[in-house]
Structure 1
Amino acid sequence: MATFAKSTFSHASYAAFRPSYPRSLYTTILSYHHGPRNLLVDLGCGHGVVARSLSNDFDHVIGTDPSAGMIAQAKSSTSSTDFANVEFREALAEDLPFIADGSVDMVVAGQAAHWFDYPRLWPEMRRIVRRGGTLAFWGYKDHVFVDYPAATRILMEWAYGMDKERLGPYWSQPGRSIVEGKLRAIMPPAEDWEDETRVDYEPGTRGKESGEGTLFMSRRLRVGECKEYVRTWSAYHGWQEAHPEVGKRAEGGKGDVVDAMFDEIVQAEGWESEEMEVDIEWGSGLLLARRR
């Protein structure tokens, strides 16, 4: 998670442009859960959206993240009056000494599980999660312009093309491959976890909900907002570090990799302006398991 821990990363932009999660996702997770709802731990909590969203469902919520910047963003976005039962701690998911053995009813991770060190994580999860407690990890891959196949194809070419002028070389691995695989590479040890359940979605390009599986994440955005969302990608931050002399056009620069990507999309699709709205959906994977 080194990218998000860097002082040069814009935690405010991440909070502003990253997608949130619908109540239907949380309902699916809570329906799976059995037993008390005393303590929830949100690993890799980022700016705190999951912790806040589940605060009414648990007596106490602890959000953890190794990035001091993310924790600061989470605290500034979380009213102590409205969310009195939520706290945030700077910590690695693999090392949570302030959480007592067997005290956690549910542990979650939204768009963070691909960063974890699993040989270290699984023993810590075995320690802190009570018997019968729930593990819920989910993540989302690249977004799809559901009405625009050419735009989606071009986005993929720029996102994963291995030319150094594109974004492909700058993804952290194996994390990105884990996300692309909808977290299928994450396998809870069978001796500690049971009732494993997976809920996936792969978007289509024949309109809304034309994909396969259970859709959780969709949004209608202006083209300009889509550009700023891509600029929250860790690969974009890596590209920036490799091209410090190149600025985005909106700030007086000659145009960065995202400007170039969307120039090609606009030409292919005939989009008229950055104020135009488009529907997008994200491919996603949800992993649920119960502590033996």
Structure 2
Amino acid sequence: MATFAKSTFNASVYSSFRPTYPQQLFNNIFEYHARSNNSRQDLAVDIGCGTGQATPQLRHFGQVIGVDPSLPMVTAAQRTSTIPNIKYVQGHAENLKGIVEPDSVDLLISAQAAHWFDWGKVWPETRRVLRTGGTVAFWIYSEFRLTGYPSVTPRITQYAQGTDPKTSLGPHFQRPGRTILENLLLDVPAPTEVPGVSVSGSEGGLGDFQRVFYSGAHHPDLPHSSIIKPVEMRTTMRWRDLLGYFRTWSPLHTFHELFPDDLHVVDERFPEDLESNEEGKEDIDVRGGDIAVRFWKDLRQGVKDAGGAHGVDESVSVEWPIALLLARKV
């Protein structure tokens, strides 16, 4: 992801406001791994690890390696890491040579990075580095929703997937990666559909491939062969912190490079926010009216109209659907 590699990208701010992954997700992955007759817990690798949002959950493995192509991300992860058996290195999912040996990895994960992968290279590389009995678990979370306020969902879709480059971040996402994420990884081929990966069930190949969706009833058009589970990725955030999350979106960084004057737009809705900000106790500036603030205020207005809490320091429930790909080396 090119934005994350730029020197102007603030990895620390990114880490502060990104949502955390539910423990139930990891429990399900570890249970899947344990069902293999040859499962071990010697080496786990997190590819596309970013600042290490998911990597610490692998600490019970003997050795853990976080790998990311972005030096700012790796540096931020190294700076904040306190777990002695975890290290972070720069590298790419498509080529792990020099980072791990062939047939050595027991668990290979990727959190919120799989939509950027070159699958013609990643599936063969996964097969090469996994030990027999090893597990691969790649997942992403897609568009957020405000729990209990479906009336604002169209506004979220317009902001994130619209086509007007001046009013939506949609055109500023890198494609096709973002499209793959929006489609919940359904565009990702199964390992057996990629040359260089053995047919499922044959010696040394990737088998028991599963698509798991933690989406509840929100995506009724998912394939019948999928495993559908309740939404697990949910949190309660202050509106102030939700704005902080919006500011971590990679296309916003790009949008402001293209339209710097947007940073000086004024939006006078919710004037009471200014009093809250003047207390000097918060580090998230809620003033101004750039595209992120306008979107944030649109959502608050929608929740207000529905009778919900909308004050800058009041809370709202936020949830994300998760798409998970599982396979093992047989």
Normalising by structure 1, we get a TM-score of 0.91
Show structure 1 runs of 4+ deviating over 3 A.
248-254
C-alpha separation between the residues in 2 aligned to 1:134 and 1:38? 12
What is the aligned partner in structure 2 of residue 18 from structure 1? Answer: 18
Cα deviation for residue 253 of structure 1 reads: 7.2
Letter in 2 for 1:167: L
Answering whether residue 310 of structure 2 is matched by residue 290 of structure 1, we say: no
C-alpha separation between the residues in 2 aligned to 1:182 and 1:162? 20
C-alpha separation between the residues in 1 aligned to 2:320 and 2:310? 24
What is the aligned partner in structure 2 of residue 238 from structure 1? Answer: 254
What is the aligned partner in structure 2 of residue 68 from structure 1? Answer: 71
C-alpha separation between the residues in 2 aligned to 1:40 and 1:272? 42
Secondary structure of 1:62's aligned partner:
strand
- Give structure 1 stretches of 5+ with no counterpart: 206-211
C-alpha separation between the residues in 2 aligned to 1:55 and 1:84? 9
What is the aligned partner in structure 1 of residue 31 from structure 2? Answer: 31
The count of aligned residue pairs is 282
Q: Identify which range, 266-275 or 155-164, moves more after superposition.
A: 266-275
8 A contact 2:140–2:181 mirrored in 1:
yes
Answering whether residue 215 of structure 2 is matched by residue 202 of structure 1, we say: yes
What is the aligned partner in structure 1 of residue 224 from structure 2? Answer: none
Letter in 2 for 1:77: T
Cα deviation for residue 152 of structure 1 reads: 2.3
Q: Identify which range, 185-194 or 18-27, moves more after superposition.
A: 185-194
Change (3 A) 1:265 1:215: closer
C-alpha separation between the residues in 1 aligned to 2:95 and 2:20? 27
C-alpha separation between the residues in 1 aligned to 2:165 and 2:77? 33
What is the aligned partner in structure 2 of residue 133 from structure 1? Answer: 134
Answering whether residue 219 of structure 2 is matched by residue 217 of structure 1, we say: no
Percent of residue pairs identical: 37
C-alpha separation between the residues in 1 aligned to 2:296 and 2:127? 45
C-alpha separation between the residues in 2 aligned to 1:54 and 1:265? 36
Change (3 A) 1:120 1:104: same
Cα deviation for residue 244 of structure 1 reads: 2.0
Letter in 2 for 1:24: Q
Normalising by structure 2, we get a TM-score of 0.81
8 A contact 1:203–1:281 mirrored in 2:
no
C-alpha separation between the residues in 1 aligned to 2:286 and 2:146? 28
Change (3 A) 1:214 1:203: closer
Letter in 2 for 1:266: R
What is the aligned partner in structure 2 of residue 50 from structure 1? Answer: 54
C-alpha separation between the residues in 1 aligned to 2:229 and 2:59? 28
C-alpha separation between the residues in 2 aligned to 1:203 and 1:247? 38
Cα deviation for residue 96 of structure 1 reads: 1.3
8 A contact 2:286–2:293 mirrored in 1:
no
What is the aligned partner in structure 1 of residue 278 from structure 2? Answer: none
- Give structure 2 stretches of 5+ with no counterpart: 193-198, 200-204, 219-227, 267-283
8 A contact 1:141–1:282 mirrored in 2:
yes
What is the aligned partner in structure 2 of residue 278 from structure 1? Answer: 316
What is the aligned partner in structure 2 of residue 91 from structure 1? Answer: 91
* Larger-gyration structure (1/2): 2
8 A contact 2:29–2:137 mirrored in 1:
yes
